[in-house]
Amino acid sequence: MIDDILIDLHMESDVLDALVAPLDDWSVPTPAPGWTIANQISHLTWTDRISALAARDPGAFAEALKRATPDMVDEGAREPVTLEQWREGRDELAEALRAVPPGVKVPWFGPPMSPVSMATARLMETWAHGQDVADALGTTREPTNRLKHVAHIAVRAFGWSFLVNGRPAPQVPLRVELLGPEGDLWTWGPADAEDRITGPALDFCLLATQRRHRDDLAVTAVGDHARAWLPIAQAFAGPPGPGREKERS
């Protein structure tokens, strides 16, 4: 299974690579406040590098974790990197995750993750930051079934989204039904759950990665807990993000 997700991660990275490779100027601002295209690629490069370190050398990662600061993400995004360095880092991460022995989890800033979960998280971030780059360039990307990985990690973060916002995680089942780009119905949770989320997979992923305001998306919720989730949903680790402003009509 790790090979399958790594293939999808490679393909998602190639989509973003194709957007930035022809550019002579990476200083174009993106919708993320204060972040240019260069910052987006630097952030992905930094995260790939630290992820590969965690997979390859848990001891060295533990030492790096001791030196971690609240500003480390922004500091990583400010490190200048080249296109070739980003490409090399992606390849190193794939090799490191493939080499993790079966059943072994990779240490992380939060709970340890399986190689599959870590690769899924990297795909989610690559897609999300790729959206920022696409928006900066005025480009629309074609949605693919790789969105199912993004949606899956977002659904799994249902309880986390509440906790990180200082609220108790709901102890109720959640049903999520999403229409994939090719017309397939993707589902999570029991069919008879009272709390339900429905909508296009693309819209749900844009919501959960906080790349669009909920009012600009065709995602609907039924049930108190599901409705409470939509404004705070986040597929990523770390503190709550500021989200995006509603588009002006």
Question: For residue range 178-199, what is the model confidence (pLDDT) as tens digits?
Answer: 999 999 999 999 999 999 999 9
Same domain as 154, residue 128: no
Q: Say what the pTM is.
A: 0.95
Whether residues 76 and 187 share a domain: the answer is no
Q: What are phi and psi of 76, to 5 degrees?
A: -65, -35
Q: Which residue has the higher pLDDT, 247 or 33?
A: 33
**Which of 121, 103, 126, 108 lies closest to 55, judged by CA?**
108
100-109 pLDDT, tens digit each:
999 999 999 8
- Exposure b/e, 103-135, CB count within 10 A at least 16 = b: eebbbbeeeebbbbbbbbbbbbbbbbbbbbbbb
Say what the pLDDT of residue 249 is: 56
Range of the domain at 72: 2-137
* Overall number of domains in the chain: 2
Same domain for 152 and 131? Answer: no
Does one domain contain both 51 and 162?
no
Contact 170, 162 (CB under 8 A): yes
> Do 123 and 190 fall into the same domain?
no
Q: Are residues 31 and 102 in the same domain?
A: yes
Q: What is the mean pLDDT of residues 51-65?
A: 95
Residue 245 placed within a domain: no
Q: Are residues 65 and 122 in the same domain?
A: yes
Residue 236 falls inside a structural domain: no
Per-residue pLDDT for 55 more than 90? yes
Radius of gyration, alpha carbons of the chain: 18
The CATH number given to whatever domain includes residue 77 is 1.20.120.450
- The full length of the chain comes to 249
One domain, residues 121 and 170: no
| Domain assignment present for 132 | yes
Please say if the pLDDT value at position 59 is more than 90: yes
Can you give the CATH number for the domain in which 214 is found? 3.30.1050.10
| Domain termination site, one of 91, 119, 137 | 137
In this structure, are 131 and 16 located in the same domain?
yes
- N- to C-terminal Cα distance for the chain? 44
User: What band does 79 get if pLDDT is binned at 50, 70 and 90?
Assistant: very high
C-alpha–C-alpha distance, residues 60 and 45, integer Å: 18
Same domain, 129 and 164: no
Quick one: pLDDT at residue 70? 84
DSSP helix/strand/coil, 180? coil
Q: Which amino acid is at 187?
A: T
- The burial of 14, by beta-carbon neighbours within 10 Å (0-12 exposed, 13-18 middle, 19 or more buried), is given as middle
Positive/negative CA dihedral, 97, 1, 128, 113: negative
Residue 185 confidence (pLDDT): 98
